Chain A
Amino acid sequence: MLSMLFILGGFIPLIYADFSATVLTMDDGVITGRFSDSVLLSLPPCDQYAGKSVDLEYLNVNTNQTTTLNSIFTVANCSSGINTVGSTAISRNIGYQLKNLSNGTQYRIHYQIGSNKSAPTMATTRSVPDFGNDLSLPARSGAMVVITVILSLAMFFLLICLILSTVMSSA
């Protein structure tokens, strides 16, 4: 039994490699990694997989349809950092933009590099609702209340005093 466990344990690194394709966030230098029809994914670690060709497989959780993209890019060397030339996220070494997705849908995504498979990650594309169908009235500022109350009282008081002073001086 124990020897079986040891043998199985030896296979675990081949089942899931120790990296995953995470969705990029503001910390990675982009506004957002989630759009309505694409997601920006992080790249595999360059120290282990530089120069290797990467495949990507993703599953649409709603329709249960799996799509495989073969040889989408080659992992760059660690010496090349993020650059500002090139028209795609991958040519700038920021990440990989997985396109042609449906909006408001959840996907399970993982990279495949040779026999190494990354830990799968869940990513949901943005559903794009209309804004402002239920606009609530913003709270009243204190300024409005103070000005309205005090000026209304002042107006009323002045009117009373004006009438009184006219009556008193004609009496």
Chain B
Amino acid sequence: MASRGGLTWLMIIVILCNAFAAAAGLALFALAIWVAVDGYKLYPISGVSGKDDIFAGAWIAIFTGFAYFCTCIFGIYAARKQRRSLMLSYLIIMFIIFIFECASCITAATNRDYLVGNSNVVKKQMLQYYAEDSTKGREITKTWNKVMQDVECCGTDSPLDWVEYNSTFRQLYGTTYPWPLNCCKRLSSFEVADSQGCIIGQTSTMFTRGCFTHIESVLSRYTWAVSWYGFSVQMFVFFMLLIAMVYFTQLG
């Protein structure tokens, strides 16, 4: 049985750690909302492939972040009251939230590897669905048009993707247009600057780099937000729970 002084110090440490964890949980909540909102509008690329668990991980993290915040405030109350029943219920609830957050981190990191480990999945999706007249096709076409214009890029690895491989776009438009006109540079009035030069392939009239770097960096950014920040919160909560368990065993 620890002395009164020792127990008070332990109580203060538990309270401070819970306050910090509440703030970290709220930050996780906010970050997961940012990922779920998808400001870069790249969700269709993962949604159409069926591997959208980066966003599923973000939704779980919204729940767990807010739950950490609420439970840590309860933990401050339970530690102050020095009642065993309250501390035990706090520990059990925190453990359940811990398991959910682990699932979120692992899922997000794993699905990022499926999608953007290399450019194959994104390239196959672009060749198959761009310009296709289906729900998936329209979503992918809209997403790619936005990316090509905003990021000033063409194709997955380069514009040669459109020329080297068969695609729905090629089947529909033949070889008159080797690549979509969204690959062409535009004036500020949004008209294509030089459509004939773009069709011939003059490098001064079109975008020559691939879009995969941008897509990969955005999806990685989302993943690192959910999985690595979630992981750091988990590590802090892990050590905090160990200290809380020691405090729990010392309560009379």
Contacts and interface: CB of A to CB of B under 8 A. Distances in A.
Given A151-B102, A152-B102, A154-B238, A132 B200 contact: no
Nearest to B194: A84
A138 B160 contact: no
Contacts of A154: 102, 234-235, 238
A109 to B, nearest CB: 19
The main secondary structure of chain A at its interface with chain B is loop
Contacts of A48: none
B202 A29 contact: yes
Contacts of A129: 165-166
Contact of A31 (B114, B203, B228): B203
B241 A147 contact: no
A97 B200 contact: yes
A30 B203 contact: yes
Interface stretch (A53-61, A71-79, A155-163): A155-163
B196 A87 contact: yes
A29 B198 CA distance: 12
B16 to A, nearest CB: 20
Nearest to B103: A151
B110 interface: yes
Interface in A138-155: 138-141, 143-144, 147-148, 150-152, 154-155
Contacts of A94: 200, 202
A151 B200 CA distance: 54
A131 B127 contact: yes
Given A30-B203, A129-B166, A131-B165, A162 B91 contact: yes
A33 to B, nearest CB: 8
Contacts of B196: 86-88, 92
B242 interface: yes
Interface of B is mostly: helix
B110 A144 contact: yes
Candidate in B118, B123, B238 with the most chain A CB atoms within 10 angstroms: B238
Contacts of A165: 91, 245-246, 248-249
A166 B91 CA distance: 10
How many interface residues does chain A have, given as a range?
A: 35 or more
B229 to A, nearest CB: 11
A76 B164 CA distance: 32
B200 A147 contact: no
B117 A139 contact: yes
A62 interface: no
A87 B198 CA distance: 10
B98 interface: yes
Given A128-B166, A143-B227, 18 more contacts: A30-B202, A35-B175, A40-B200, A84-B202, A88-B196, A89-B200, A94-B202, A126-B163, A131-B166, A135-B121, A141-B112, A147-B228, A148-B106, A151-B231, A158-B238, A161-B241, A162-B95, A165-B249
22 contacts: A30-B201, A30-B202, A31-B160, A35-B178, A94-B200, A128-B164, A128-B166, A131-B166, A131-B167, A132-B127, A138-B113, A138-B117, A143-B228, A148-B106, A148-B109, A154-B238, A155-B99, A158-B238, A158-B242, A159-B95, A162-B245, A165-B248
Interface of B: 84, 88, 91-92, 95, 98-99, 102, 105-106, 109-110, 112-114, 117-118, 120-121, 123-124, 127-128, 158-160, 163-167, 170, 175, 178, 194, 196-197, 200-206, 208, 224, 227-228, 231, 234-235, 238, 241-242, 245-246, 248-249, 251
Interface of A: 26, 29-32, 34-38, 40, 84, 86-89, 92, 94, 97, 126, 128-132, 135-141, 143-144, 147-148, 150-152, 154-155, 157-159, 161-162, 165-166, 168-169
